[in-house]
Amino acid sequence: MRFERCRMLFGEEDFSKLQKAKILILGVGGVGSYALDCLYRSGIHDITIIDYDTYDETNQNRQIGSEAVGALKTERLRELYPGVKEIHQQMNMAWVASFDFSPYDIIIDAADTTKVKIELAKKEYKKLIMSVGSAKRFDTNKIEVASIWKTHGDALARKIRNELKKAKFDRNFTVVFSPEEDKCKGKGSCVAVTGAFGLTICSEAIKRILKP
């Protein structure tokens, strides 16, 4: 049986909760694609993915599905994970303002655009699990999970905190981050960390779904 090991781990009642959960993933690159894989293999199949990009050869060091260079990420991942819903959409401020997030139990933010991340936090903080800087690092032991206000050592998280303070926003939401010092100046990345970010997000989502 496909999910026999999951049923053994979670028990029938909790596994049923996982199967009924509705999850939205914003961005299915180095972090989001691994979150998708983990959730899907854990029995959660009501998953909607949103992305606008196509695969580039430089994605192949860290993104699931990236061997299909030139393909739309959402279309390729829908093929790899049958039943997943795809939205080919560029995420911007107007999209955040107009999109209906209400059907989803959990929103995973693995998007790249800082302004989108900030506006999403303001609008949907209760459902949100956000990924911040996973590039320029290779030590998975440094990965942490905390409230946005407890993050440290990460420039993107600091910028988000500062912008939220300016907006007088003081609510909590969960962030996966790493305080590891940047190891390069460019866009260097290692799937050990980007993938681990995605798997950590998956774990946090499962814990939230099963929380009494």
CATH number of the CATH domain containing 33:
3.40.50.720
**Domain containing 111: what range?**
4-132+189-210
Is residue 195 situated within a structural domain?
yes
Q: Residue 80 domain-assigned?
A: yes
What mean pLDDT do residues 68-97 have? 96
CB 183 within 8 A of CB 138: yes
Mean pLDDT of 111-139: 96
Domain count, the chain: 1
| pLDDT tens column, 37-55 | 999 999 998 999 999 999 9
How much is the pLDDT for 212? 83
Asked if the structure places residue 143 within a domain, the reply is no
Residue 160 covered by a domain: no
pLDDT of residue 57: 96
Radius of gyration of the chain (CA): 17
Does residue 50 sit within a domain?
yes
Share of the chain above pLDDT 90, in %: 96
- In this predicted model, what pLDDT tens digit does every residue of 165-211 receive, in sequence order? 999 999 999 999 999 999 998 889 999 999 999 999 999 999 999 99
Q: Please report the sign of the dihedral spanned by the C-alpha atoms of residue 59, residue 64, residue 68, residue 70.
A: negative
Sheet holding 106-109, edge to edge: 85-88, 46-51, 22-26, 106-109, 128-131, 174-177, 144-147
CA distance 175 to 150: 9
Q: Report if residue 60 sits inside a domain.
A: yes
Region 79-105: mean pLDDT is: 96
Q: What is the DSSP string of 69-97?
A: TTSBHHHHHHHHSTT-EEEE----HHHHH
Q: Is residue 30 part of a domain?
A: yes
The residue-averaged pLDDT of 67-73 equals: 97
The reply to whether 145 falls in a domain is no
- From 99, 88, 94, select the one nearest 54 (Cα to Cα): 88
